[in-house]
Amino acid sequence: MSRLSNTSLRFPAWLESPTAPAVLELAATQVVLEVDDAESFFSCEYEDLETTLSAYRFAWLQGFCCEEPIIWVAYLWRIWHDRFFSLATGWHWHPYTTAERAVNILDFIQKHQAQAAFDNLEASLRRHAEKITDGLEYFGDHNSSNHLANNGRGIYRIGLALGDHALISTGLSILLNEAERIFLPSGILREESSHYHLLYTQRYLDVWLAARRESRKEEKELREIAKKCFAVLPHLLLAGRFPLIGDISPDCKPEYLLGLCCQQSSGWLAGLDEDERSAVKNLRAEAGTADRKMLQKDGWCRADFSRWSGLWHCPRDGWSAMPGHGHQDLGGFDLAFDNIPVIVDPGRDQYGESLSAQKYAVASAHSGLTINEQAPYPPNKPYYDDGFRRRFCGPPPDFSSTTDGVQISHSGYTRLAGVGVVRRRWRFEGDSLRISDQIEGEGSGFVSRYLQTPLEPELRTDHIILRHEELSFRISAGSEGSPLIEPTTLWTAYGHGQAGWRIRFDTDVKLPWQDEILIEFI
């Protein structure tokens, strides 16, 4: 591929500045942009890098609505070009960001038939393709994340727009090979995040629809990948709600893609034309539901017990996926009663390695059990091999379900002196749930058990009451001492959350030890 000169692009003479302000949704924030401030939009110093990247990615085009959409977008596109196009390196040319920007602008142009507002678009797109291919995000199997598949998506979509067969072939090859690598046998994304699975279902639907528009022969292959991703979604939907287990992507709000899970033509689906919306809905119906046992083998269990419905997560190896978007949530679960959320996963507010950024990824932020305030498994590292992991923490967890509940046993805590296998069982008995815990070993330890809930707890002498309108639930534990209640945040999107509460049972124990938590509908 030939190198392009860093020449500023020309824009139509008729394209003038916007006259009315625009509202732009960025990761973790919203910007009301006045025309006089537009020049500084991309150079503004946002607190979160992901906010800056969402500006560079033109992610704000998702659901973008204002009085002058074509004029505003072309105007901001020109500002971005004037400021960044000739700069050889920087976050603005990061391959993932470059792919997102190209696809977002192509989608906007297609939706609004706005090609005339973007002179020299071909030269710009070729530069974008060059930057992606020069920086493909492959770092070996243990270090390459979902980004590489999105690199392929960007190259493929640009190739189709330009009619460039070499780009089409490169992008397609990446997409097909990455689909085999990043999705587990059940069809779920291996990175242990429900939102990221939803996002990559949309990514593969996107390239399938692009191939379908061009009557490409690879349309069938891409369709099958999207179909397999689609079949997982019914397992991730709980009481009409999409639990956000693992990281929440800053690329879009979960609600933007929620129409893929239910009979709604909202968000991304609403931006498609009627023919493509119909094609997606037909594929959803044809996909059916992924095999439940296979999905459980891949670390996810969705099950109903009388009036209860739940979603459990247990990493296949105990250790969080590497690379991935999972948390220290082995045995974490999301639980509803008659479609009322009772126990939930908090999701995550932001990225980063600081203590504050990791606050919602640690074990105490999930509905599980810790010993001596340690997570069930240590942080995973790409240089650990399977032999080392087994010597350190034993074999993979046993994750199974029965007609009356779910159970997990694991050896993650055997790395602690005197601690043996830990077992937890959720047994449903009509309107009640018993969570039984058993820890093998000898000596002593400090055990903490956590529950995260959106229902404000009322602390009584030896139990807790949760209320939802006229319904009430009682939570108690067999151990001595009063439970603790702490305020927390339940994240609904990247950087956006609502009030929640953490219930905590702390106990000094002598091993072996067993106890239970009882949740009763009263």
* pLDDT digit string, tens, across residues 133-145: 999 999 988 889 9
Q: What is the pTM of this model?
A: 0.95
CA angle 457, 462, 465 (to 5 degrees): 25
| 3 within a domain of the structure (yes/no) | no
Q: Would you place residue 377 in the very low, low, confident or very high pLDDT band (cuts 50, 70, 90)?
A: very high
Q: Is residue 223 part of a domain?
A: no
Please tell me the predicted confidence (pLDDT) of residue 336.
97
Does a structural domain hold residue 386?
Answer: yes
Angle, CA of 315, 320 and 326, to the nearest 5°: 90
What pairs with residue 333 in β-bridges?
A: 312
| 205 within 8 A of 198, measured Cβ to Cβ | no
Position 355 scores a pLDDT of 66
Q: Can you give the pLDDT at residue 3?
A: 30
**What average pLDDT does range 489-518 have in this prediction?**
96
Instruction: Tell me what the mean pLDDT of segment 247-253 comes to.
Output: 97
In a domain, residue 417? The reply is: yes
The neighbouring-strand residues paired with 478 are none
CATH code assigned at 389 = 2.70.98.70
pLDDT at 9: 46
**How many residues make up the chain in this entry?**
522
Domain span at residue 402 reads 299-521
**Tens digits of per-residue pLDDT, 274-321?**
999 999 999 999 999 999 999 999 999 999 999 999 999 999 999 999
Task: Judge whether 412 and 432 are in contact, CB under 8 Å.
Answer: no
Average pLDDT, the chain: 93
Q: What is the pLDDT of residue 8?
A: 42
Residue 425, domain member (yes or no): yes
Beta bridge pairs of residue 401: 406
How far apart (Å, rounded) are the C-alpha atoms in residues 240 and 39? 42
The predicted structure's pLDDT at residue 54:
97
Residue 511 has pLDDT above 80, yes or no: yes
Q: How would you class 319 by CB atoms within 10 Å of its CB: exposed for 0-12, middle for 13-18, buried for 19 or more?
A: buried
Q: Mean per-residue pLDDT for 15-28?
A: 89
Q: Measured between alpha carbons, how far is 62 from 425 in angstroms, rounded to an integer? A: 43
Q: Is residue 206 part of a domain?
A: no
Provide mean pLDDT across the span 19-38: 92
436 falls within a domain: yes
Tally the domains of the chain.
1
Give per-residue pLDDT as tens, 189-206: 999 999 999 999 999 999
Percentage with pLDDT > 70 across the chain:
96
The 3-state DSSP composition of the chain as helix, strand, coil percent (nearest 5) reads: 35, 25, 40
Q: What percent of the chain is predicted at pLDDT more than 90?
A: 84
State pLDDT tens for residues 331-367. Answer: 999 999 999 999 999 999 989 777 676 899 999 999 9
Give Cα 16 distance to the centre of its chain: 39
Helix (H, G, I), strand (E, B) or coil at 282: helix
Q: pLDDT (tens digit, 9 = 90+) per residue, 75-111?
A: 999 999 999 999 999 999 999 999 999 999 999 999 9
**Mapping DSSP to helix (H, G, I), strand (E, B) and coil, where does residue 39 land?**
helix
- CA 468 to CA 343: how far, in whole Å? 13
Residue 129 pLDDT > 60: yes
Structure tokens given for 373? 């305030």
Question: What pLDDT sits at residue 285?
Answer: 95
What letter would DSSP give residue 114? -
Burial label, 354 (beta-carbon count in 10 A; 0-12, 13-18, 19+): exposed
Q: pLDDT-derived band of residue 17, with 50, 70 and 90 as boundaries? A: confident
Would residue 498 count as lying in a domain? yes
| DSSP state string for 434-495 | EEEEEEEEEEEEEEEEEEEESSPEEE-SS-EEEEETTEEEEEEESSSS--EEEEEEEEEETT
Q: What does the pLDDT average to over 488-509?
A: 96
Contact yes or no for 269/284 (Cβ under 8 A): no
In terms of Cβ atoms closer than 10 Å to its own Cβ (0-12, 13-18, 19+), residue 263 is exposed
Closest among 515, 509, 511 to 443, alpha carbons compared: 511
**pLDDT class for 67, splitting at 50, 70, 90?**
confident
Rounded Cα gap, residues 519 and 473, in angstroms: 7
- Taking residues 375-394, what's their average pLDDT? 93
pLDDT of residue 309: 97
Nearest-angstrom CA–CA distance, 321 and 144:
12
